[in-house]
A and B are shown apart, each in its own frame.
Chain A
Amino acid sequence: MVEELLHSQAGILNFGIFFLLAVVLLFVILGFVTYAILAERKVMGFMQLRQGPNQVGGRWGLLQTVADVLKLLLKEDTIPKLADKPLFIIAPVIAFAPSFIVMAAIPFTDKFQFADLGVGLLYYVAISGLTTIGMLTGGWASNNKYALLGGMRAAAQMISYEIPLVMSVIGIVLLTGSLNLNDIVAAQENVWYIVLQPVAFIIFLIASVAELNRVPFDLPEAENELVAGFHVEYSGFRWAMFMLAEYVYIFAMASLTTVLFLGGWHPLFSFLGFIPGAVWFALKFMCVFFLLLWFRSTFPRIRADKLMEFAWKILLPIALANIFLTAIIKEILNLF
């Protein structure tokens, strides 16, 4: 259906349909974010001998996040007196908008995808890089020293880790021969790329955690060092925007990991094919998400001065070696 729509004429009706679909996706994502936060708190509670939320919305705290968001919306909107006001206001928007835009390129199932782009992978990486600007702007506009340090860290970190992230997936691009995410999933029908490209998977995972600013790479907002980093002066719904962006990126990144390495909507074994693709996608996606939560409750934070070293001196050379090896093996296989 989406396929037809994408190639149909521009018009009010088609616009309306697209708009409606976008709203549906927005709600799916918001629903995910709501329960991702709850899941995070529950899982961490479980790992840390605590209960987690258990008051609002029954024993499982099902409405806790809703209540939290409502509280944030009702909070007084404070802007520091000496802040750069226009930048301060626009920063959360800059951070949030790209996180939603990247969703367009991700194929959730073979039917459900908004834009079947030829360069889907590049599109994702390029757009997600924009969020850094939002963080840097927020850190700068707050006129707070901790925020500035956090913003600087965010910029340095996200630019550095973008490179190994892209380099790690080049191996996959070589194997598939396409940047199109649909083609990449289709190529994994028999064997997932996590098997063919294990090194790339590990690099991608590490770099993606760094991109997401999550433990152990949560330096831009390191609460024990920089109090809250770039969003230290933000409160209420502006802060919620930053948080929302962060969780939408988790959604996006977990989806991308599923698409690139875990075979997207393909079933684990072909005889399990009767289970719909969406379910498979969700299952794999959940595994990736759980991994992130697990990291969060296990690891300490990496040292800020080792961060760059790790990206440039360790991840990047390994990623390059992986590309080189993949290329050679592919050529050798092509000979026979």
Chain B
Amino acid sequence: MLRTEEMLLNVGPQHPSTHGVFRLVLKIDGETIVEAKPVIGYLHRGTEKLAEDLQYTQIIPYTDRMDYVSAMTNNYVICHAVETMMDIQVPERAEYLRVIAMELGRVASHLVWFGTFLLDLGATSPLLYAFRERESIINLLNELSGARLTFNYMRVGGVKWDAPEGWVDKVREFVPYMREQLKGYHSLVTGNEIFTNRVIGVGTYTKEDALNYSLSGANLRCTGVKWDLRKDEPYSIYDRFDFDVPVRETGDAWARYHVRLDEIEESLKILEQACEQFPAEGAILAKVPKIIKAPKGEAFVRIESPRGEIGCYIASDGKKEPYRLKFRRPSFYNLQILPKLLEGETISNLISILGAVDIILGEVDG
């Protein structure tokens, strides 16, 4: 018998498939992973600590940089938290603009995931197709907010800019276009034997595991738990729309893939209805004081971001800066199940598992 040794392999922080600066210390036996230890914190910028010295409006751009793939939902969660504390009623038109912006962001975020996941699996083309569609979304959001990635669009009490003329019609036109493209994705990728081989039964966990690890978003819904805050604890105006919460039962990467692609379709439904109901007139910003001071006390709000439940906790002592600000960052929680999933897997499965979890390092490290 030959003497064999386990090998220590550093995946990341500089690695094509770790989506940023995530590091995994693997103990491998051949290509089989014996033990995996995630190391995070390479992108830590101390958003929460910085926020303690910033006024509420000044915090908003920092939230853009947490989950930079879906900045709109991050904008919303901080504004929503302050609004809850101050009991501000957001004008109708602003709510619709917010919802349209967030749902566009959700579609864009899932498109990025779709593209990069397939790229991780070795298919180069889907990335470019997905980014073509994302580009039209980015252009729409650019017209709305003046930025392509870090929008800084929402304000406490409403939004910063009104929609330019004809913008809502452009969104309306985008919906059928995106539906058409989705069909193309399915015919290119979904039925592909090599692809199904790489995702079916890979990275499987049970409903109990998902709940115990506090997973959320598509990572939870892929195990059959029908939980979406837009439906179950409706915030903003989500109770006005008719949409479904896609679920799958199997809990593997294949289920996560389907949940996300189905979510794009549901988001398109919401967009369609929001454009239909969009009020022609109205204010975009509630009457808020020049300097926002949250009343003494605390508040916690949570909403559904593309990656899961993003929460914002504010403890205020009545000053114009928060006393303590905490974000519940879904990627950070979703990542925790990784060591359990990776044990006994091979390196090529590592890539599909890590990709299917959909982490954004800016959000993991905060």
Contacts and interface: CB of A to CB of B under 8 A. Distances in A.
A225 B347 contact: yes
Contacts of A305: 31, 346, 348-349
Interface in A50-101: 50
Given A49-B129, A50-B128, A304-B346, A224 B9 contact: no
A293 to B, nearest CB: 12
Interface residues of B, number: 30
Contacts of A303: 194, 197-198, 346, 348-349
A226 B123 CA distance: 15
B16 A49 contact: no
A170 to B, nearest CB: 27
A299 interface: yes
A297 B351 contact: no
Contact of B122 (A47, A48, A145, A216): A216
Interface string B340-360: 000000111111000000000
Contacts of B349: 303, 305
A225 B348 contact: yes
A184 B347 CA distance: 43
Main secondary structure on chain B at its contact with chain A? helix
A89 to B, nearest CB: 25
Contacts of A49: 128-129, 132
Contact of B194 (A44, A50, A216, A223): A216
A97 to B, nearest CB: 29
B16 A223 contact: yes
A44 B189 CA distance: 17
B195 interface: yes
Interface in A186-231: 215-216, 218-219, 222-227
A229 to B, nearest CB: 11
Which secondary structure dominates chain A's binding surface? helix
B136 to A, nearest CB: 13
Given A44-B124, A222-B348, A224-B351, A300 B192 contact: yes
Contacts of A145: 7, 9
B100 interface: no
Contacts of B118: 300
Interface string B168-197: 000000000000000000001100101101
Interface in A276-333: 296-306
B119 interface: yes
B347 A304 contact: yes
Nearest to A145: B9
A149 interface: yes
Contacts of A296: 124
Contacts of B188: 298
B122 A218 contact: yes
B228 interface: no
Given A300-B123, A302-B197, A224 B17 contact: yes
A224 B120 contact: yes
B123 A298 contact: yes
A281 to B, nearest CB: 30
Given A224-B120, A224-B351, A225-B348, A300 B198 contact: yes
A216 B119 CA distance: 12
B347 A149 contact: yes
B86 interface: no
B41 to A, nearest CB: 22
B121 interface: yes
A297 B192 CA distance: 13
Contacts of A227: 15-16
A202 to B, nearest CB: 14
Interface in B16-41: 16-17, 31
Interface in A10-65: 44, 47-50
B348 A300 contact: no
Contact of A300 (B31, B122, B129, B347): B122
B29 to A, nearest CB: 12
B125 interface: yes
Given A48-B128, A215-B122, A300-B121, A226 B195 contact: no
Interface string A131-154: 000000000000001100100000
A182 B350 CA distance: 48
A301 B122 contact: yes
A225 B123 contact: no
B7 A48 contact: no
Nearest to A304: B348
Given A149-B347, A304-B347, A299 B128 contact: no
Contacts of A297: 124-125
B119 A224 contact: yes
Please indicate which of the listed interface residues A149, A224, A298, A300 has the most CB atoms of chain B within 10 Å of its own CB.
A300
Given A145-B7, A223-B16, A302 B351 contact: no
A299 B346 contact: no
A8 to B, nearest CB: 50
Contacts of B121: 224, 300-301
Nearest to B198: A303
A39 to B, nearest CB: 16
Given A145-B9, A149-B31, A226 B197 contact: no
A44 B268 CA distance: 30
Contacts of B132: 49
A297 B348 CA distance: 20
Given A49-B129, A145-B9, A227-B15, A306 B123 contact: no
Given A225-B17, A303-B198, 9 more contacts: A216-B194, A224-B122, A297-B124, A300-B122, A301-B122, A302-B197, A304-B347, A305-B31, A305-B348
Interface of B: 7, 9, 15-17, 31, 118-125, 128-129, 132, 188-189, 192, 194-195, 197-198, 346-351
The 3 A-B pairs of least Cβ separation, nearest first, read: A301-B122, A300-B123, A300-B121
19 contacts: A48-B124, A48-B129, A49-B128, A215-B122, A216-B194, A224-B120, A225-B348, A225-B351, A297-B125, A299-B122, A299-B123, A300-B118, A300-B198, A301-B122, A303-B346, A304-B346, A304-B347, A304-B348, A306-B197
